């Protein structure tokens, strides 16, 4: 099939793109070239925090603003690279003073506050492994992650601590809880034994020399699969190579940019491209604590003169809903490059960008496991609306069949990557067997299905498994089912992704009830509330249907595929393994 391309307009071309001559670079490229662009630490080590912050201070850019923080109540704080360096070093020393050693896990359960960024980079500076958590999480996801990672330090706020108080005694390896009470917003008294962040860092030294190597573990993000609880994908300091260079190639970053990534650091986009890529490129970054509201977002772009903006299709669809006029009423002319990730970007989203901002959104593709962008639409290249673009130089991406053989252009198969890219995940924490299972016949199998066209552009088709993508966030059905069956009324639960015009999919659950319970509207509401309380609003089911029993295979596995087909009125496919009641 021939796919039309859209030409960029003059406005996109105000500056020559960072990546030029894509084809030529892809042929000649070697990662050794990027290694030379990094600073490294004395003795040949590599440290993400050093590459993000310290190197700019040494290079006399210490006075440049690294972070503009806008609080949810309109507060504003600014930090130069030098001030960030001091805050991060103090945090690194403070964590070390609590007994944190290289490789220890520090979990960060915070809203988007300056301290969130100091703590994540402070942990990395000191050689700890940092696990950022969404502040929307309920007690269950926090408990699962703290237990699985064996985290020894948790950094959180008074309110969030209260929300998860019941699960804390179940986290046996946890030794310290550090409390950030931003601007004294909370009147909650400090729980005995907890450590106040401000007092802890106040007495810490502002100097810290990193001693990590490129292979030391850095960040872990939990990601959902079809079976079992979410797994902790572990990255290493070496990832900064790819995050740095893709910041240039795929987001067109340059040091005088005002950059805004709308993702939360609880999601890999919020660390790889909400911290590491922008700061290693020396830009000024906007961090907004508040949530999505199109008009507020437009005002932020106008007020702070954002030049590069990285967001997600669900947000774009929500902007489309209120129409282009709302965007046109604000002055968003500062924007030079806009990009999107996390879900398929409908061509309409790209056209909306052109109408609303006079710029097309550039879609790109990657995953928690890849750690950095793998496939992208570049500033210099024509966009084919609906395509995720082409692989970055230095990685090999292909479509392979179930036997690991590459297929011809146009054929749908498994989206696969040749192992060895710099930001490749190193393991799933305490689950090496699951890690190994992702590699087959010399390929890392991503779990996505796609095809490649004759020009080398990749087109997303869907997930190969039952993982649900709701507003860009992956939800493992098992996690939701486990929460539901903890309710005394629920005998069994099966969870699917139901197509949704805005969020792509929403979580829908089917439950069968135990003896003595009636499928009433009241019980439905109670179950919805129950799941929200345990999980988070984004992960909990939006809809629950009662069924007398759930379709299962003869080995007793709930057939989610069948639940989905029935929900959508689609053919049921092969039901030969179905166990009928």
Q: Which is nearer to ligand PRX, 156 or 223 (CB)?
A: 223
Judged by CB under 6 A, the residue of 239, 367, 423, 426 near ligand PRX is: 367
Of the two residues 284 and 314, which places its CB atom closer to ligand PRX in the complex? 314
The answer to whether 388 contacts ligand PRX (rule: CB under 6 A) is yes
- CB 431, min distance to ligand PRX, A: 16
Torsion 134-362-498-446 (CA) sign: negative
Q: Is 479 in the site for ligand PRX (CB under 6 A)?
A: no
Q: Does 424 bind ligand PRX (CB under 6 A)?
A: no
Nearest-5° angle of CA 199, CA 205, CA 210?
120
Strands 397-400 and 413-417: antiparallel
Q: For helices 294-304 and 313-322, give the axis angle rounded to 10 degrees.
A: 100
Which of 471, 474, 559, 562 contacts ligand PRX by CB under 6 A? 474
CB atoms under 10 Å from CB of 293, counted, come to: 12
* Least distance (Å) between residue 483 CB and ligand PRX: 20
Q: Does 341 bind ligand PRX (CB under 6 A)?
A: yes
Least Cα distance to 88 among 57, 135, 121 occurs for 121
State the Cα torsion 380-381-383-388 to the nearest 10°.
Answer: -100
Query: Any contact of residue 344 with ligand PRX (CB under 6 A)?
Result: yes
When asked if residue 363 is in the footprint of ligand PRX (CB under 6 A), the reply is yes
User: What residue has token string 């004294």?
Assistant: 184
| Four-residue CA torsion sign, 357, 359, 360, 366 | negative
Question: Rule CB under 6 A: which of 223-262 touch ligand PRX?
Answer: 223
CA separation, residue 447 to residues 224, 413, 436 (Å): 11, 10, 14
**SS3 for 194?**
coil
> Measured from the CB of residue 298, what is the shortest distance to ligand PRX in angstroms?
23
Q: Is 346 in the site for ligand PRX (CB under 6 A)?
A: no
Binding residue for ligand PRX, selected from 242, 281, 368, 482, defined by CB under 6 A: 368
| Cβ proximity of 280 and 305 under 8 Å | no
* Sequence-separated (6 or more) residues with CB below 8 Å from residue 135: 109, 110, 111, 112, 157, 160, 264, 266
Residue in 366, 425, 443, 530 binding ligand PRX, rule: CB under 6 A: 366
State CA 573 to chain mean position distance.
33
Span near ligand PRX by CB under 6 A; candidates 200-208, 210-218, 443-451, 509-517: 443-451
The two structure tokens encoding residue 162: 């209260």
Q: How far is the CB of 460 from ligand PRX (least distance, A)?
A: 4
* Binding residue (CB under 6 A) for ligand PRX from 71, 128, 131, 342: 342
Distance CA 76, CA 69 (A): 5
Q: Which stretch binds ligand PRX (CB under 6 A): 71-79, 362-370, 491-499, 551-559?
A: 362-370
∠ CA(337), CA(339), CA(342), 5° rounding? 170
- Residue from 134, 365, 428, 443 touching ligand PRX (CB under 6 A): that is 365
- Two tokens at 218? 């850095």
- Residue 558 lies near ligand PRX (rule: CB under 6 A): no
Q: Between 389 and 494, name the residue whose CB sits nearer to ligand PRX.
A: 389
Please, which of residues 255-314 interact with ligand PRX by CB under 6 A?
A: 268-269
Among 254, 276, 238, which Cα is nearest to 422's? 238
CB of 368 to ligand PRX, least distance (A): 3
**Residue count, binding to ligand PRX (CB under 6 A):** 21
Stretch that binds ligand PRX, among 58-66, 85-93, 137-145, 360-368 (CB under 6 A): 360-368
Q: Which residue, 81 or 267, is less far from ligand PRX as judged by CB? A: 267
CB-side exposure of 173: number of CA atoms within 13 Å? 16
Per CB under 6 A, the list member of 438, 463, 498, 532 interacting with ligand PRX is 463
Q: How far is the CB of 344 from ligand PRX (least distance, A)?
A: 4
Which residues, numbered 101-130, are part of the site for ligand PRX (CB under 6 A)? none
Q: Is 35 helix (H, G, I), strand (E, B) or coil?
A: helix
Q: Do 81 and 89 contact (CB within 8 A), yes or no?
A: no
**Cα separation of 221 and 123, whole Å?**
15
Query: Which parts of 158-217 interact with ligand PRX (CB under 6 A)?
Result: none
Minimum CB distance to ligand PRX, residue 435 (Å): 15
Task: Give me the least distance between CB of 5 and ligand PRX, in Å please.
Answer: 17
Least distance in angstroms from the C-beta of 425 to ligand PRX = 10
Coarse DSSP helix, strand, coil percentages of the chain, rounded to the nearest 5 percent: 35, 25, 40
Q: Which stretch binds ligand PRX (CB under 6 A): 4-12, 14-22, 193-201, 359-367?
A: 359-367
Contact segment (CB under 6 A) with ligand PRX among 199-207, 441-449, 488-496, 536-544 equals 441-449
Cβ-based neighbours of 387, under 8 Å, separated by 6 or more: 3, 363, 377, 453, 457, 458, 459
Element spanning 348, H or E: helix 347-357
Task: List residues binding ligand PRX (CB under 6 A).
Answer: 223, 268-269, 341-344, 363-368, 388, 446-448, 460, 463, 469, 474
């Amino acid at each position: 099939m021939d796919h039309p391309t859209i030409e960029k307009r003059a406005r996109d071309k105000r500056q020559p793109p960072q990546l030029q001559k894509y084809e030529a670079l892809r042929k000649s490229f070697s990662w050794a070239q990027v290694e030379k662009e990094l600073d490294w630490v004395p003795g040949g080590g590599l440290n993400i925090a050093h590459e993000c912050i310290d190197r700019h201070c040494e290079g006399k850019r210490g006075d440049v603003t690294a972070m503009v923080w806008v609080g949810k109540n309109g507060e504003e704080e600014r930090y130069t690279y030098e001030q960030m360096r001091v805050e991060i070093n103090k945090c690194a020393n403070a964590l070390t003073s609590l007994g944190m050693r290289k490789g220890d896990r520090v979990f960060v359960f915070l809203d988007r506050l300056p301290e969130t960024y100091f703590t994540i980079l402070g942990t990395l500076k000191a050689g700890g492994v940092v696990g950022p958590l969404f502040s929307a999480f309920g007690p269950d996801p926090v408990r699962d992650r703290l237990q699985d990672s064996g985290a020894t330090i948790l950094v959180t706020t008074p309110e969030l601590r209260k929300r998860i108080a019941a699960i804390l005694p179940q986290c046996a390896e946890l030794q310290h809880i550090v409390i950030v009470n931003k601007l004294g917003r909370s009147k909650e008294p400090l729980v005995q034994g907890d450590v106040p962040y401000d007092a802890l860092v106040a007495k810490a030294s502002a100097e810290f020399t990193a001693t990590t190597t490129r292979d030391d573990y850095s960040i872990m993000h939990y990601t959902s699969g079809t079976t079992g609880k979410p797994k902790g994908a572990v990255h290493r300091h070496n990832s900064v190579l790819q995050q740095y260079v893709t910041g240039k190639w795929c987001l067109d970053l340059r040091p005088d940019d005002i950059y805004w990534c709308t993702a939360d650091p609880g999601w890999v986009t919020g660390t790889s491209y909400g911290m590491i890529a922008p700061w290693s490129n020396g830009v000024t970054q906007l961090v907004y604590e508040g949530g999505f509201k199109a008009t507020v977002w437009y005002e932020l772009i106008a007020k702070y003169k954002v030049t590069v903006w990285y967001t997600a299709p669900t947000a774009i669809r929500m902007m489309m809903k209120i129409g282009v006029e709302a965007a046109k009423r604000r002055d968003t002319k500062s924007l030079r490059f806009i990009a999107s990730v996390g879900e398929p970007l409908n061509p309409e989203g790209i056209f909306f960008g052109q109408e609303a901002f006079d710029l097309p959104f550039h879609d790109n593709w990657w995953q928690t496991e890849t750690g950095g962008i793998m496939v992208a639409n570049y500033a210099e290249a024509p966009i084919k609306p609906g395509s995720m673009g082409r692989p970055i130089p230095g990685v090999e991406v292909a479509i392979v069949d179930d036997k690991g053989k590459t297929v011809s252009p146009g054929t749908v198969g498994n989206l696969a990557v040749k192992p060895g890219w710099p930001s490749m995940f190193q393991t799933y924490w305490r689950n090496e067997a699951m890690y190994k299972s992702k590699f087959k016949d010399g390929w890392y199998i991503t779990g996505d299905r796609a095809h490649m066209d004759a020009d080398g552009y990749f087109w997303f088709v869907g997930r190969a498994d039952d993982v649900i993508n709701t507003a860009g966030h992956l939800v493992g059905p098992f996690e939701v089912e486990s929460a539901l069956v903890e309710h005394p009324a629920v005998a069994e639960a099966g969870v699917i992704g139901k197509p949704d015009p805005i969020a792509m999919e929403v979580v829908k659950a089917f439950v069968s009830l135990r003896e003595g319970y009636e499928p009433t509207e009241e019980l439905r509401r109670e179950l919805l509330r129950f799941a929200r309380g345990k999980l988070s609003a984004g992960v909990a089911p939006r809809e629950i249907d009662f069924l007398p029993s759930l379709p299962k295979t003869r080995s007793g596995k709930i057939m989610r595929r069948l639940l989905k087909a029935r929900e959508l009125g689609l053919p049921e496919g092969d039901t030969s393994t179905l166990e009928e009641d």
